[in-house]
Amino acid sequence: MDTMEAIHTRRSIRKYTDRPVPRELVTELLRAAMSAPSAVNAQPWTFIVIDDQKILDKIPTFSPYAGMCRGAPLAILICGDTTLEKVPGYWVQDCSAATQNLLLAAHACGLGAVWTGIYPIKDRVEGFRKAFGLPEHVIPLALVPIGYPDQEPGPQDRFDRKKVYYNTYGKREE
């Protein structure tokens, strides 16, 4: 699958088969995530691979939009480590880029995944902090449940010319 195809056909997948994701494939996904750009190449991210079903089943109790974890064989928690930042505050952008790489890599490998947001919702941040023993300098940004898809939503063209301006706000293409 080429890059443009991956971008245009990737969709959020919330239903998975019970087939486990091989550890080698998880490593490949993490390698793709860590290939993301980051400010001053700081790479201020850390990842927690969650494949214990008891832990996955508990996540929706403190992250209300992560119910699909109950049926996922795997999830990856993407966190920013503020002690690794070279430009304060950019960990959010850096970890977001890593999350997008992870989503695209999963799709390219035949897996389904969905981005569930954590930061900046305080109760979600605290829920993940408590559940995973995160120190204060490690901030959970997103949780990505992953598995072999048990649904096939078709691609969507989301391009909207009304959201595009040229050179100044409000100036449309002529």
**At 32, which CATH number?**
3.40.109.10
User: Is 160 part of any domain?
Assistant: no
What pLDDT is recorded for position 173? Answer: 80
- The continuous run of DSSP H or E covering 50 comes out as strand 45-50
Residue 5 has which token pair? 């195809």
DSSP-derived 3-state class of residue 101: helix
- Exposure on the CB side of residue 122, measured as CA atoms within 13 A: 0
Identify the pLDDT of residue 1.
Answer: 86
Asked whether residue 162 is domain-assigned, the answer is: no
Could you tell me if residue 144 is inside a domain?
yes
Which pLDDT score is estimated for 33?
98
- Residue 29 in domain: yes
Q: Which domain holds residue 116?
A: 3-151
Number of domains the chain is built from: 1
- Where b means 16+ CB within 10 Å and e means fewer, 86-112 reads eeeebbeebbbbbbbbbbbbbbbbebb
Residue 47 lies in a domain: yes
Is 169 a domain residue? no
Q: Does residue 157 sit within a domain?
A: no
Q: Give a yes or no: residue 163 inside a domain.
A: no
Q: What is the chain's pLDDT, residue by residue, as a tens digit (174 residues)?
A: 899 999 999 999 999 999 999 999 999 999 999 999 999 999 999 999 999 999 999 999 999 999 999 999 999 999 999 999 999 999 999 999 999 999 999 999 999 999 999 999 999 999 999 999 999 999 999 999 999 999 999 889 999 999 999 999 999 986
Do residues 51 and 73 lie in contact, with contact meaning Cβ atoms separated by under 8 Å?
yes
